[in-house]
C-alpha cells in the first residue's frame, strides 16, 4: 500500500496499549496509508504497545488520580503535538468523556469520545437494554438479577439456560450461562448488580459489527463479523454481508446520534437480530476490520483531523484467525521503576516475530 504524506506530521496518541483494544488500534494505525506517528500510553510500564510505538509514556491510573491523569494527558498532547487521541481502555474513556471539550480546547487535539451521557448509558448493560427497547430496537429480554419480583416474572417467560453478567463490565468477565435455579441463586450473590438476560440461540450466529458515523457528515458504513469467542475476545471472524444486520446497526447509531467508531454486538435468532451490547469505542477487533478495508482509526484521522470527504470503505470478504504472540525484552529495556508520565524506550526495542 502506498504511504501518503499529508502536509504536517500526523501524530496519534493511543491509550491503554497493554490491553487488546489499545493494541488493536495501534496495529490498525500501522496499516494506515497515512502512516501516522504513534505515541503510546499506559499505566503499566510493562505494557506491550509501549515498546513498539514511536514515543511512549506512562500515565497515572485514571481511577486512582483522575485530576493528575487529565493534567498529564493534556501536557503530553501539547508536548508531542498530538492531533488525535484514541482510547484503548474503558476507564479512561469514561473519565475523559466529561472533560472532552475542555481538553480539545486546551490541546488542539481531537479526542475520539462521545458525549458523557451516551458513554455512561452504553457502559451500563441494564440501561442499554432499556434504551434500545424503548426506541423500538431489538434487544434481549433483560431484568436486574437482584429484583426478585422481576426475576420471578422473567423465569415464567424464559426457560433455562439464561445469561447472567455484570451490569458494568467488558470482555465476558463474570459472564455466566445459568443452567438452573440453584446456579442462579449462587451467581446472583457472586456477581453483585448483575443483569439476567434470555439466552439467544443459535450459538453460531453471534456477530460483532463495526460502524462508523461522522460527526460532520453522518453515517459512513460498517463491517460485520460472524465470530467465535475465546477469553472474551473475538478469535475467529468471518466477514459477512447481511442486510438486516446493516439496517439495525445503522438505526442504532442514528437513533442515539453516536459518532466515530461504534461496536455493536448481536445474535441472529429465528425471530431476527437481537442487540446485547453497544460500545461507543474502538473494539479489540479493530485491527481485523482494518485488514478487510474498514480502518476505523484511519477514518477518524481523515474525518476529524484532515476533514476530508469520507466515502464508504470497500469491504473485502475473508476470515481472520487470532493467535497469541510475544515480545522479549532485555534487562534495561523494560522500564521498571518508571514513575509518572516519563518517556520510555520506544520503537523497535526487544524482539518479536510479528510486524507490530
Cβ atoms 167, 195 nearer than 8 A = yes
**Residue 330, Cβ neighbours under 10 Å: how many?**
9
The residues of the chain scoring below 70 in pLDDT are 1-8, 171, 334-356
Per DSSP, helices labelled H in the chain are: 20-31, 66-79, 90-97, 100-107, 116-122, 125-134, 148-157, 181-190, 243-255, 286-291, 296-300
pLDDT on residue 336: 42
Cβ atoms 351, 327 nearer than 8 A = yes
Cβ neighbours for 204, distance < 8 A, ≥ 6 positions apart:
226
Fold of 141-198: Dna Ligase; domain 1 (3.30.1490)
- 294-352 pLDDT, tens digit per residue, is 999 999 999 999 999 999 999 999 999 999 888 888 877 765 433 344 445 555 554 44
First-residue to last-residue Cα distance in the chain: 17
Architecture of domain 202-321: 2-Layer Sandwich (3.30)
Query: Strand, coil or helix: what is 59?
Result: coil
pLDDT on residue 335: 56
* Euclidean distance between CA atoms 100 and 248, whole angstroms: 29
Architecture of domain 11-113+324-352: 3-Layer(aba) Sandwich (3.40)
* Euclidean distance between CA atoms 209 and 266, whole angstroms: 8
pLDDT on residue 348: 53
Cell numbers linked to 83: 492531533
Cell numbers linked to 252: 442504532
* Euclidean distance between CA atoms 216 and 313, whole angstroms: 17
Q: Structural domain boundaries of the chain?
A: 11-113+324-352, 141-198, 202-321
Amino acid at each position: 500500500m502506498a504511504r501518503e504524506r499529508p502536509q504536517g506530521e500526523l501524530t496519534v496518541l493511543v491509550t491503554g496499549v497493554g490491553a487488546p483494544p489499545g493494541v488493536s488500534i495501534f496495529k490498525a494505525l500501522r496499516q494506515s496509508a497515512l502512516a501516522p506517528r504513534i505515541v503510546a500510553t499506559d499505566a503499566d510500564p510493562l505494557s506491550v504497545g509501549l515498546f513498539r510505538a514511536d514515543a511512549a509514556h506512562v500515565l497515572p491510573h485514571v481511577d486512582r488520580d483522575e485530576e493528575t491523569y487529565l493534567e498529564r494527558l493534556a501536557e503530553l498532547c501539547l508536548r508531542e503535538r498530538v492531533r488525535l487521541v484514541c482510547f484503548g481502555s474503558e476507564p479512561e474513556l469514561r473519565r475523559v468523556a466529561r472533560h472532552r471539550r475542555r481538553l480539545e480546547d486546551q490541546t488542539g487535539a481531537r479526542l475520539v469520545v462521545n458525549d458523557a451521557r451516551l458513554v455512561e448509558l452504553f457502559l451500563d448493560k441494564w440501561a442499554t437494554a432499556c434504551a434500545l427497547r424503548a426506541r423500538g430496537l431489538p434487544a434481549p429480554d433483560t431484568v436486574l438479577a437482584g429484583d426478585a419480583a422481576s426475576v420471578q416474572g422473567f423465569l415464567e417467560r424464559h426457560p433455562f439456560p439464561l445469561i447472567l453478567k455484570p451490569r458494568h463490565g467488558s470482555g465476558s468477565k463474570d459472564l455466566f450461562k445459568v443452567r438452573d435455579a440453584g446456579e442462579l441463586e449462587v451467581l446472583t450473590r457472586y456477581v453483585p448488580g448483575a443483569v439476567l438476560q434470555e439466552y439467544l440461540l443459535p450459538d453460531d450466529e453471534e456477530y460483532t459489527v463495526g460502524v462508523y458515523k461522522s460527526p460532520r457528515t453522518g453515517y459512513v458504513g460498517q463491517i460485520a463479523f460472524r465470530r467465535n469467542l475465546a477469553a472474551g475476545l473475538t478469535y475467529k471472524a468471518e466477514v459477512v454481508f447481511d442486510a438486516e444486520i446493516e439496517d439495525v446497526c445503522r438505526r442504532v447509531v442514528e437513533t442515539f446520534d453516536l459518532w466515530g467508531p461504534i461496536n455493536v454486538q448481536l445474535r441472529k435468532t429465528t425471530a431476527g437480530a437481537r442487540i446485547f451490547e453497544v460500545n461507543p469505542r474502538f473494539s479489540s477487533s479493530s485491527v481485523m476490520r482494518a485488514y478487510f478495508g474498514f480502518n476505523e482509526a484511519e477514518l477518524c484521522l481523515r474525518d476529524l483531523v484532515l476533514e476530508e470527504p469520507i466515502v464508504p470503505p470497500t469491504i473485502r470478504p475473508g476470515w481472520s484467525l487470532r493467535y497469541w504472540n510475544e515480545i522479549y525484552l532485555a534487562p534495561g529495556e523494560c522500564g521498571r521503576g518508571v514513575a509518572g508520565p516519563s518517556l520510555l524506550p520506544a520503537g523497535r526495542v526487544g524482539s518479536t516475530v510479528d510486524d507490530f
